[in-house]
Amino acid sequence: MNAQLIADDYQISSTAKALSRVDIVLIGARGKVGTAFRQQLASAQQRLRESIGLDISLLAAYDRHGFAFSLTGLSPDTIQDDFSERTHHDTQTLLQHLLTRKNLPAIVIDCTASDEIADLYPSLLAGGVAVVTANKRANSRSQNFYDNLQNLAQKNNTPYRYETTVGAAIPIIGPIQDLKWRGEKIQSVQGVLSGSLSYILYRLHQGIDFSEAVLEARELGYTEPDPFEDLSAEDLARKLLVLAREAGFSIEAADIDVRPLLSKPTHNEALETTLKIHDAPWRARIEAAEARNERWIVLAETSADTSSIGLQRVPLTSPFARLRPGQNLVRITTERQEQIPLELCGAGAGPEITAAGVLSDVILAARQLAP
């Protein structure tokens, strides 16, 4: 792919458009969230053109193996036919093109869980290319890296949106930003934020064994392929870092007191054998909780002084105890909302709902960028 050719061709095709056109590049295009996003975009494109004059055009899409590109816009739902084998040269040329073209708004959408893609954000934002991401990797690095991304976005007036990195499509990041902008001091944020752990605990309270609950959650696709990623609360810690920083608490990963359900085993035992050791202790814990009309939850909490993730028993009357599997609940306490904290609740995972949240972020970013 030749950069000059792209630039010349693009100028010719863009002059013919009367709508406000915003080009998007989708990374992770054939993953679960990427696929759902393409399908939702396909059914939204015409509506957005007619209702708000916004022409969101899929300029390029790629994953680790394939690459697709079209100056006139790829058809999001039939993209499979357009993929060719990806070369490093293709993606480099594309990103260089995005950074060098002038006054042509573009958004890069990250639907991967890759550090390599998170590495691109600083140069994209510095170059005026918006970033929409479902990937927690960037915002859960050091506080410095997070602050730098925020500064770059602000200084260059470039949208940087990541609502789906916590709680899928539940609006959490946006409301926290609103609270800060209107000067409402956030005291604490706490929540049940892991769909996989909630599911496992829900099934334990229904009476099945710990090993069975974990293997079932993996079978249903609720956990990572290695369930210890979930049981060790690594992913949850990334979510809490994002929330804490959004709330204005300066924090590093090492500051979080993580009490995992299970630590990653150091030896290479079969998964089921390792899990089965915990069946009897868990049966006893569940019985003890039920006898006291309580339920186990994994609560993530952060305030200016302390941040933690761990198992807790809560009364059955607690809103955290009444959540259905897959449901997330975040409670935000502020100086003005101390007695009755703000609660945000909804489906906290799943490719369809996450993709819907990504599409909302893309529309908001595109409206900010559109000429």
Ligand X SMILES: NC(=O)c1ccc[n+]([C@@H]2O[C@H](COP(=O)([O-])OP(=O)(O)OC[C@H]3O[C@@H](n4cnc5c(N)ncnc54)[C@H](OP(=O)(O)O)[C@@H]3O)[C@@H](O)[C@H]2O)c1
For ligand X (CB under 6 A), the number of binding residues is 26
Shortest reach from residue 25's CB to ligand X, in Å:
11
Q: Is 114 in the site for ligand X (CB under 6 A)?
A: yes
Contact 186, 250 (CB under 8 A): no
Choose which of 6, 33, 124, 152 interacts with ligand X (CB under 6 A).
33
- Write the DSSP string, 69-99: EEEEEE-GGGGGGG-EE--HHHHHHHHHHHH
Chain centroid to CA 50: how far? 29
Please say which residue, 34 or 289, places its beta carbon nearer to ligand X: 34
Q: Are strands 294-303 and 307-315 parallel, antiparallel or unpaired?
A: antiparallel
At residue 311, the 3 state secondary structure works out as strand
Please say which residue, 34 or 128, places its beta carbon nearer to ligand X: 34
Kindly state the helix (H) or strand (E) to which residue 368 belongs, with its residue range: helix 351-369
Shortest reach from residue 162's CB to ligand X, in Å:
10
Give the dihedral of Cα atoms 289, 227, 235, 161; nearest 10 deg: -120
Q: Is 352 in the site for ligand X (CB under 6 A)?
A: no
Question: In the range 54-83, which residues lie near ligand X by CB under 6 A?
Answer: 62-65
Choose which of 77, 116, 226, 257 interacts with ligand X (CB under 6 A).
116
Going by C-alpha positions, the residue among 234, 366, 210, 346 that lies closest to residue 300 is 234
Shortest reach from residue 181's CB to ligand X, in Å:
25
Shortest reach from residue 156's CB to ligand X, in Å:
24
* Cα distance between residue 231 and residue 239, in whole Å: 15
Please say which residue, 19 or 345, places its beta carbon nearer to ligand X: 345
Q: Is 302 in the site for ligand X (CB under 6 A)?
A: no
Q: Are strands 327-334 and 106-110 parallel, antiparallel or unpaired?
A: unpaired
Minimal CB distance to ligand X: which residue? Answer: 31
Residue 61, token pair as written in the block: 């899409």
Shortest reach from residue 166's CB to ligand X, in Å:
8
Shortest reach from residue 111's CB to ligand X, in Å:
5
Residues contributing to the site for ligand X (CB under 6 A): 27-28, 30-34, 62-65, 111-114, 116-117, 134-136, 164, 168, 349-351, 354
